Amino acid sequence: MAMTPQSPSRAEGGFRTATAVERSDPDSVAKHPVGDTSQWMAAIAEGWDIAGNANGGYLLALTARAMSAAIGRPDPITVTAHYLAPGKPGPVSIAVEITKQGRTFGTATATLVGEDRPLLRVLGTFGELAENVGPQLVDLVPPPMPSPDQCIPVDATDTFPPPFMGKVELRLHPDDANFLRGNPSGHARMRGWFRLRNGEPTDTVALLCASDAFPPTVFNANLPVAWTPTIELTTHVRYRPEPGWLRCRFATHFVSGGFLEEDGEIWDDSGRLVAQSRQLALVPRN
Amino acid sequence: MAMTPQSPSRAEGGFRTATAVERSDPDSVAKHPVGDTSQWMAAIAEGWDIAGNANGGYLLALTARAMSAAIGRPDPITVTAHYLAPGKPGPVSIAVEITKQGRTFGTATATLVGEDRPLLRVLGTFGELAENVGPQLVDLVPPPMPSPDQCIPVDATDTFPPPFMGKVELRLHPDDANFLRGNPSGHARMRGWFRLRNGEPTDTVALLCASDAFPPTVFNANLPVAWTPTIELTTHVRYRPEPGWLRCRFATHFVSGGFLEEDGEIWDDSGRLVAQSRQLALVPRN
């Protein structure tokens, strides 16, 4: 869909602009058969960083845009990224190789390359999500939370928020927000609301960004852990989200062996689980 | 370690034999630099199947053996497989491409090919697991279960057990085993003990097999779901297991949109979480 220059998300450098990709090799139209590799140009946009390094969910979303276009299917069904090096703002290239094109899904690998080194290696299956198909069983509820205006905007604090928080809007559950003031809750958990800024809708690729947008759960544990570089992030997408805030819960149960996992659930405004995520992060040895 | 012909696991066609790989391209010694692709020969062994198709965890383990050898690091840290086609017994090839060799980890992709088509596409990071490094936080306990001899051997029933159950030993929690007699528990959960047969030790690659060895959790739900083909399986390994039975818990919280997730925890005899898994499976539309 063409966006006018007046579009807020474009004028403000919204998510869609920040994840735009363009085919850079000659065969720019055809959908790609199995085994073919396509090349894409993109840029890591300014302002999507945390202490200078682009947010991992944003990098995954950027790569997923190229994969989706190469495969010719709109929705990430399950996407796994292994993080190899930090990404800095500037031009990047994405190579996508298609492994399978089936009746309902297409599977590809991709490499995001910046400054001549691989930043992300990604394996993903894409398709077209449908509504209410098959049997249903949901035995968890969305996390109970005060409304967004009763939650704590991360950008309201004066020390923590990285530039990335100017690009997405996070409102933390009050019980999980005191780590911002040096008082972690004692539970390795982070609950809150997420949306893109300026009313830009969250599509299924933006859910990949949401799945890595919150401060690390371990910031709420009483552990000497100041940063947790992501080794791998996997996100499953179940539904296209309804417009509005997304209700998110991230939790860690195991910090051990030098690693931790962080499990995420993302629910939309209609009360449906739209995505699940799990990442493995390194716990730097003291 | 060399195994003698008298080794039970070899004589009985154990797991290590069933996941043996051999370099098939000329450069059979050097460790591989980034970007290099190596070729491996292997075979899908007889008897590791469920209704004729090889178990998905077994196929992942077979592929991981080649990845581990190609990368030159023993332990899978996080490995993701996308399942593209069912595997039948017979010769297969595995192509491994190394994306990164870092100080502590190596990352590669692999394709398992059988009968001229890709069966699995795998992305994995391998390393060498260490003991008790860094801060620890564990807020879940191993699933309480009766001892293995008070649990239900899957091979004791006369209808369900597929050939695969002759290769691994499963003992189900009595509360989760009645689906075998047509009485699902009503909870999409499967708890039980796992070990390889004939005293063969479970190494970290065998944990990949364990993470997909149990009957589907959804067999214990009151849903019209007869099979759940795996789309993707990710397993994180935290520790090398102590010898003995592994205590396993698998649970599903969301059957929706035509998919379900299955989360696994695997604990060793010392009470440590040794692996976590999550798979996304298709729920065939009725």
> Which residue among B100, B135, B253 sits closest to A84, beta carbon to beta carbon?
B100
Interface of B with A in 171-200 (CB under 8 A): 188
Question: Band of the pLDDT at A2, cuts 50, 70, 90?
Answer: very low
What was the pLDDT predicted at A7?
39
* B199 C-beta neighbours (distance < 10 Å), count: 11
CB-based contact A259:B240 (threshold 8 Å)? no
Dist. CA A95–CA A82, nearest whole Å: 15
Q: Read off the DSSP letter of residue A218.
A: G
Q: Which residues of A are less than 8 Å from B223 in CB distance?
A: 135, 137
Q: What is the pTM of this model?
A: 0.94
What was the pLDDT predicted at B36?
81
pLDDT of A27 over the 80 cut: no
Q: Which residues of B are less than 8 Å from A78 in CB distance?
A: 82, 231-232, 280
- The residue among B72, B46, B47, B48 whose CA lies nearest residue B60 is B48
pLDDT of A267 over the 80 cut: yes
Q: Percent of chain A, pLDDT > 90? A: 79
B116 and chain A in contact, CB less than 8 A: no
At A9, phi and psi to the nearest 5? -65, -30
Interface of A with B in 30-59 (CB under 8 A): none
What was the pLDDT predicted at A29?
54
CA–CA min distance B132, chain A (Å)? 5
What was the pLDDT predicted at A30?
61
What was the pLDDT predicted at A36?
81
Q: Which residues of A are less than 8 Å from B102 in CB distance?
A: 84
Question: Mean pLDDT across the stretch A172-193?
Answer: 96
The CATH code for residues A8-127 is: 3.10.129.10
What was the pLDDT predicted at A28?
55
CB-based contact A78:A108 (threshold 8 Å)? no
What was the pLDDT predicted at B162?
72
**Partner-chain contact B130 A257, CB within 8 Å:** yes
Interface of A with B in 126-155 (CB under 8 A): 129-140
B77 and chain A in contact, CB less than 8 A: yes
What was the pLDDT predicted at A1?
33
Residue of B159 and A149 predicted with greater confidence: A149
HSE on the CB side for B256, CA within 13 Å? Answer: 19
**Partner-chain contact A121 B100, CB within 8 Å:** yes
Give the residue from chain B lying closest to A125, CA to CA.
Answer: B82
Q: Percent of chain A, pLDDT > 70? A: 91
What was the pLDDT predicted at A157?
54
What was the pLDDT predicted at B4?
36
What was the pLDDT predicted at B110?
98
pLDDT of A158 over the 90 cut: no
Q: Which sequence spans correspond to the domains of chain B? A: 15-127, 148-282
CB-based contact A65:A20 (threshold 8 Å)? yes
CA–CA min distance A7, chain B (Å)? 32
Task: Pick from A37, A113, A232, A273 the residue to mutate for testing the B interface (most B CBs within 10 Å).
Answer: A232
CATH fold of B148-282 reads Porin (2.40.160)
> Which residue among A121, A239, A259 sits closest to B257, beta carbon to beta carbon?
A239
ipTM reported for the complex surpasses 0.95: no
Q: What residues in chain B have per-residue pLDDT under 50?
A: 1-11
Convert A123-147 to b/e letters by CB count within 10 Å (16 or more is b). bbbbbebeeeebbebeeeebbebee
CA–CA min distance A230, chain B (Å)? 12
- The mean of the pLDDT values for chain A is 90
Residue of A227 and A280 predicted with greater confidence: A280
pLDDT of A79 over the 90 cut: yes
Statement: B15-127 belongs to CATH 3.30.720.110: no
Contacts of B32 (CB under 8 A, 6+ apart): B38, B70, B71, B72, B96, B98
Measured over the CA atoms of residue A12, residue A80, residue B134 and residue B272, the dihedral's sign is: positive
Q: What is the pLDDT of residues A80-137, one digit of tens each?
A: 999 999 999 999 999 999 999 999 999 999 999 999 999 999 999 999 998 767 889 9
**Partner-chain contact B137 A221, CB within 8 Å:** yes
Residue of B157 and A65 predicted with greater confidence: A65
What was the pLDDT predicted at A25?
83
